[in-house]
Amino acid sequence: MTTVTKKGTIVPIMGTITESYNLSAALFGKTRRAVLSLLYSHADESFYLRQIARFSGTGHGAIQRELKHLSAAGIIRRTVRGKQVYYQANPECPIFTELRSFVAKTSGIGDILRSALSPLVDKISIALIYGSVAHGSEYQSSDVDILVVGEVTFAEVVERLGPAQETLGREINPTVYPPAEFKSKIAKGHHFLKAVLSGSKIYLIGDEHELARLVEKRLAD
Amino acid sequence: MSLRDWLKNGWLIEHQTSTQEIEDLLSVADRDLDNCQTAGLSPDWKLNIAYNAALLMATAAPAAAGYRATRDAHHYRVIQSLAYTIKADARLITQLDGFRKKRNISDYERAGVVSDQEVKEMVILAENLRASVIKWLRTNYPKLLQE
């Protein structure tokens, strides 16, 4: 019997993605891992500080220090365009290829999806995995269900998730709600959204505080 | 890749269409485009009807060119074939295929997986597809259109 191995290695997720134990977590701290994961999984794109901070869920200060170290070592490239400073993976770095491969091989489902959605990070308030993958009862072939709340279209989201679907070898099913519709349906006790919010979740963008703010704001209106 | 390659792969079979068949496909698509906007329907159901309109429009194109998709993975093939008929861009195909998958998730627990915004997007997609397919038919197979 021939066994076909999947591209990359998916490290099983235990608990939430931030608690997941993986090779990358053993080697690097949270901030460095997040910066390398974002910049080296989108090596042909550049990002500014706010996007990187939002992606990593870390404060601007910690990110700035990390960017400074990595730029000084030539691992990432810093460019100034107008008033904005951009950071990008440095293709001239002697270990560029190795780092890219390292990031691809050590990413878990959450990392892969978070990275896929990262170009939309400014427009997304909350993105989370729910359903069987989130509560750890999935089979290898289970679909990955994602809820996205933001000023983005379904088209933009499926377009970004397409390559991640190939990498994971699993179907990804996103549901996209603009914040206003999300708030209004929560306030009306929408069955599906209530079930998602009360069940297990893996946050990809935003966190429970942001979700609470989004929901409470509506209740306070 | 072309529709002829698809025929060789067994994804399409040859098909003789008629003015009547094209007319029927377009008129049912128009009916669905109208019905999907009926007030009071759930978003899931609206999406389903609008998707059906898009699939009928997408079916009319290979039919005019002399083909139809085989039963296996029928919807998937019809959607992907738009790249070779009306030269649809990858984004439209990805979006429509995303809606195809969404439509398959219809069990009770997930009855709310469709948002109102997604319905709007699906309706716009179906309307745009209708315009593109009719334009393409008018240019390439004008005799099949009763105008």
Q: Dump pLDDT digits (tens) for B37-52.
A: 999 999 999 999 999 9
**For the domain bounded by A20-103, which CATH number is listed?**
1.10.10.10
- Considering the entire predicted model, what is its pTM? 0.74
Q: With cut-offs at 50, 70 and 90, classify the pLDDT of residue B106.
A: low
Candidates 2.40.10.340, 1.20.120.330, 3.40.50.12280, 3.40.50.1820; CATH matching B3-141: 1.20.120.330
pLDDT tens per residue, range A10-61:
443 433 444 344 577 788 888 998 899 889 888 888 999 988 988 887 888 9
Q: Do A162 and B105 touch (CB under 8 A)?
A: no
Structural domain boundaries in chain A: 20-103, 108-220
Structural domain boundaries in chain B: 3-141
ipTM tops the 0.90 cut: no
Task: Report, as an integer, the average pLDDT of B6-27.
Answer: 91
**A chain contacts of residue B102, beta-carbon cutoff 8 Å:** 173, 175
Is residue A198 less than 8 Å (CB to CB) from chain B? no
Nearest CA-CA distance, residue A1 and chain B, Å = 26
* Mean pLDDT, all residues of chain A: 83
**B chain contacts of residue A148, beta-carbon cutoff 8 Å:** none
**Closest-CA residue in chain A for B112?**
A192
d(CA A213, CA B135): 48
**For the domain bounded by A108-220, which CATH number is listed?**
3.30.460.10
d(CA B30, CA B14): 26
Answer yes or no: are the C-beta atoms of B116 and A181 closer than 8 Å. Answer: yes
**A chain contacts of residue B118, beta-carbon cutoff 8 Å:** 154, 175-176
Task: Report, as an integer, the average pLDDT of B23-44.
Answer: 94
Q: Kindly list the distances between the CA atom of residue B11 and the CA atoms of A31, A78, B55, B67, B73, in Å, as whole numbers in the listed order.
A: 48, 49, 17, 10, 9
**B chain contacts of residue A149, beta-carbon cutoff 8 Å:** none
Q: Is pLDDT at A8 greater than 50 in this prediction?
A: no
Answer yes or no: are the C-beta atoms of B115 and A177 closer than 8 Å. Answer: yes
Q: Do B112 and A154 touch (CB under 8 A)?
A: no
d(CA A158, CA A176): 10
